[in-house]
Amino acid sequence: MDEVVDICRDLIRIDTSNYGSDDGPGERKAAEHVAGLLEEVGIETRLYESTPGRTSLFARWGGDGTRTDALLLHGHLDVVPAAAEDWAVHPFSGEVQDCPHGGLSVWGRGAVDMKDFDAMLLAVVRARQREGRIPARPIVLHFTADEEAGGHLGAEVMVRDNPEEFEGCTEAVGEVGGFSTTVRGRRLYLVEAAEKGMAWMRLTARGRAGHGSMINADNAVTRIAEAVARIGAYEWPVRLTPAMRTLLGTVGELAGTEVTPENARELVEEFGGATRMLGAVLSNTTNPTMLGAGYKVNVVPTEATAHVDGRFLPGYEDEFFRTLAELCGEDVSIDYVSNQPPWETPYDGALVDAMTRSLIAEDPDALVAPFLMSGGTDAKHFRKLGMRTYGFTPLRLPEDLDFTALFHGVDERVPVDALQFGARVMDRFLDEI
């Protein structure tokens, strides 16, 4: 597992920026690099392109014939763009440098989202393959394109057009989970067991065009502005989903209290920097993000638009869409740029036990609990094939590192010792499954 840092650095140096359009380098070069690393140790790979340059990779590994229930281990190859002038180091340099929180870190776009996991997985698989330590359970390795733009040119296409590649897969493990936070002096590892649904919406109001100097009671700009103001100011009620009730129950035990909807936000504050993410999964959320209208200052336009990023909790979809319609009102229409359902996997069973045991073996005094993810991952596509899905990228992090701020952030980096820890945990995990 010594090569995990070098693999991570090499992957970061391959620019796979995803602009959500046909622009950008695509994932082909990175997929070919990953294929080379696997082929080098005798693991056959297959590459698929949904459109030129947008490349995903499959490989099958392990299995001794005693089991047919395969495990999907998946990581995406694309990253969000980065402006080099904003960074302390070049975002595609893969530099190893000191950090304010102490110790060495690998810097660069993708260091935490999610070329760290890709590197852990590749380092562990390569080491085990060389040593002949092949898992008895069949493993499908899948490195995807386009996750950062919804997976429509990656996992979604693979699930739709190449379902045979997932034959036998009953469970899946991927990104955003397994990282540590510190609560009241105890390290607590968060395993993703659920995700919010996503509703990217385009709101449209129509009115009567006219001269800007005259009275106009049928103004589309006014109408859209009122709807946006209502949506932006609305306070969604706290709703405790199973994953968050379990997580906050763990925190409540440390704090000497029981979790309730009334004290949930107070308990989330115990997570420090991670409150930014965990606070967002106590309720549905709606954030207006774009406005558009008109072409000249003295012309009242016929149409005005707004875009809203809505995220809704598992089990509360009806409440979300009903409330949204009320906030918009009858005169504002709603179209969906993307509308993807939430999901939640029960936090139980042999795979959950394997994740817990592998973490505790490397960090005996730690706690492990599930959480609900505010964003989205490729897991939403693999669930279409009936898989139980989890996020598990094990990282033991410094208490003062605001880790969640590094996702899509400037100066993204991952501690070297956290990468090495993650590789050790992943190695144990493959023994446990």
Domain boundaries, the chain: 4-175+377-432, 199-234+287-337
pLDDT at 22: 77
Domain at 199-234+287-337: CATH code = 3.30.70.360
Distance CA 367, CA 186 (A): 7
Q: What is the DSSP letter of 108?
A: S
Measured in whole angstroms, how far is the alpha carbon of residue 323 from the centre of its chain?
26
* Of the options 3.40.50.1980, 3.40.50.261, 3.40.630.10, 3.30.2130.30, the CATH number for the domain spanning 4-175+377-432: 3.40.630.10
The residue ranges of DSSP E strands in 96-196, in sequence order, are 96-98, 104-107, 139-144, 169-174, 179-183, 186-195
Q: Are 38 and 122 in contact (CB under 8 A)?
A: yes
pLDDT 10s per residue in the chain (433 long)? 579 999 999 999 999 999 987 788 999 999 999 999 999 999 999 999 999 999 999 999 999 999 999 999 999 999 999 999 999 999 999 999 988 777 899 999 999 999 999 999 999 999 999 999 999 999 999 999 999 998 999 999 999 999 999 999 999 999 999 999 999 999 999 999 999 999 999 999 999 999 999 999 999 999 999 999 999 999 999 999 999 999 999 999 999 999 999 999 999 999 988 898 999 999 999 999 999 999 999 999 999 999 999 999 999 999 999 999 999 999 999 999 989 999 999 999 999 999 999 999 999 999 999 999 998 899 999 999 999 999 999 999 999 888 888 999 999 999 999 999 999 999 999 999 9
pLDDT at 178: 94
Nearest to 404 by CA among 393, 416, 417, 389: 393
Q: What is the dihedral of CA 352, 419, 155, 307, to 10 degrees?
A: 100
Q: What is the DSSP letter of 314?
A: T
Residue 328 neighbours by CB under 8 Å, 6+ apart: 203, 227, 230, 231, 334
pLDDT at 326: 97
CATH topology match: 4-175+377-432 vs 199-234+287-337 = no
Distance CA 396, CA 120 (A): 13
Name beta bridge partners: 6.
none
Name beta bridge partners: 98.
104
Q: Are 273 and 179 in contact (CB under 8 A)?
A: no
For the chain, what is the radius of gyration of the CA atoms? Answer: 23
| Helix H or strand E segment including 210 | strand 210-211
